[in-house]
Amino acid sequence: MQIARIMQILEVAEVAAIEAAKWNGRGDKVAADAAATEAMRTAFNNIDFSGRIVIGEGERDEAPMLYIGEELGRGGEEIDIAVDPLEGTNLCAYNRPNALTTIAVAPRGALLFAPDTYMDKIAAGPALKGRLHIDKPPAENIRLVAEALGKPAEEVNVCILLRDRHKALIQAVRDAGARIRLIDDGDVFGAIAAAVPGTGIDLYLGSGGSPEGVLAATGLKAIDGFFQGRFDFGSDEKATEKRTRAEAMVKGTGIDLDGVLEQDMLVRSDDAVFIACGVTDGEMVDGVRIDEDGSVTTSSIVMNAEDKTVRFVENTRR
């Protein structure tokens, strides 16, 4: 993808973050999400491309904006778009770390239409590629991370979403002796941070949204990081319905609904870019900052799978 195009998409993430940040700490996640979504949609519509939402705010009948299938832009190059306009709406509402605006773009057909179900995920940095596996016990994966990073298991920091469904996982990680960075929300951050140096996170484990899995997989592809997933439809009365919908969504991709999802199945092109802009401060990027002179500064990460570059972009608007 041309740098000029990437800059346009970056701008979309930035303006959405600026609008969302107006709601930082105001306790209103709905308003925060709406602000990010509206800003993102307006900005996308100003671009000279033919954008199509493959992952967005929901199905057409439930989401007024950035719904799956929505066409955006003024026409031109055909690009598929995955967004979570405000990843971590509660993080923003309660001014907690790592609320982000997130976007992944790739040529038409390259990003998986992810079903709205949970996905078990494992993510780590480039050194762990080909070593870890989603089916290995946590202790074994932690041992491999420790070995690759040249430190004891006690110093491995595992990011996990704080959820009841992760009780056994959390215990297993504690039993393996590792540290845990428990997060309230936002596993796109968790998975990507595991591969980005300086975040203090070495490994991401646990289940979160499938759409978030595709977003994270795009970023991890750019940094040559490790990612595997597996759909988790649960075992309640909705499981069968979710599975049927998922079947329809992955049709023609050759994906086995119960199998291991490799990075390249979720993101089927190297011409893919992931961008996240900070809304609240975090370990990977800073949140939106307003200085005394009224200038607004945003911090973003721009991960390009085509040339395997990771840029940190700080931008000040006067």
User: Taking CB under 6 A as the rule, does residue 87 contact ligand VTB?
Assistant: yes
Give the β-pairing of 179-183 and 157-161. parallel
- Member of 73, 138, 208, 225 binding ligand VTB (CB under 6 A): 208
N-term to C-term CA, the chain: 28
The answer to the question of residue 219 lying near ligand VTB (CB under 6 A) is no
- Taking the least distance from each CB to ligand VTB, the nearer of 144 and 267 is 267
Written as one string, the DSSP assignment of 189-219 is HHHHHTTSTTSS--EEEEEEEHHHHHHHHHH
Min. distance of Cβ 96 from ligand VTB in angstroms? 11
Stretch that binds ligand VTB, among 206-214, 218-226, 241-249, 268-276 (CB under 6 A): 206-214
Q: Which of 274, 249, 217, 256 is nearest to 68 (CA)?
A: 249
Q: How many helices (H) and strands (E) does the chain have?
A: 9, 14
**Which single residue brings its beta carbon nearest to ligand VTB?**
208
- Closer by beta carbon to ligand VTB, 89 or else 299: 89
Given 209, 225, 278, 287, the residue binding ligand VTB (CB under 6 A): 209
Minimum distance, C-beta of residue 88 to ligand VTB, in the bound complex (Å) = 5
Among 88, 125, 138, 282, binds ligand VTB (CB under 6 A): 88
Decide: is 186 part of the binding site for ligand VTB (CB under 6 A): yes
94 lies in the site for ligand VTB, by CB under 6 A: no
185 touches ligand VTB (CB under 6 A): yes
Rounded CA separation 42/94 (Å):
26
Q: Is 120 an interacting residue with respect to ligand VTB (CB under 6 A)?
A: no
Q: Which is nearer to ligand VTB, 63 or 139 (CB)?
A: 63
Which span (39-47, 59-67, 75-83, 182-190) binds ligand VTB, by CB under 6 A? 182-190
Closest approach of Cβ 202 to ligand VTB, in Å? 19
- Decide if residue 85 touches ligand VTB (CB under 6 A): no
Sign of CA dihedral 222, 182, 261, 240: negative
- The Cα-based distances of 295 to 145, 289, 291, 292 in angstroms read 42, 8, 5, 7
**Cα 167 versus chain centre, distance:** 23
What minimum distance in Å lies between the beta carbon of 44 and ligand VTB? 20
Question: Nearer to ligand VTB by C-beta: 19 or 212?
Answer: 212
CB of 121 to ligand VTB, least distance (A): 9
- Size of the residue set binding ligand VTB (CB under 6 A): 10
Q: Residue 298 burial by CB count (10 A; 0-12/13-18/19+): exposed, middle or buried?
A: buried
Residues paired with residue 261 on neighbouring β-strands, in sequence order: 229
Examine residue 33 and tell whether it contacts ligand VTB (CB under 6 A). Answer: no
Q: Which residue do the tokens 């979570």 mark?
A: 84
**How far is 192 from 117, CA to CA, in rounded Å?**
20
Q: Does 212 bind ligand VTB (CB under 6 A)?
A: yes
> What's the CA gap between 313 and 311, in Å, rounded?
6
Q: List the one residue from 131, 163, 179, 268 that touches ligand VTB (CB under 6 A).
A: 163
User: Would you state the structure tokens that stand for residue 111, as one six-digit string?
Assistant: 């990003």
Q: Are 291 and 310 in contact (CB under 8 A)?
A: no
Nearer to ligand VTB, 80 or 87 (CB): 87
Residues that bind ligand VTB (CB under 6 A): 87-88, 163, 185-188, 208-209, 212
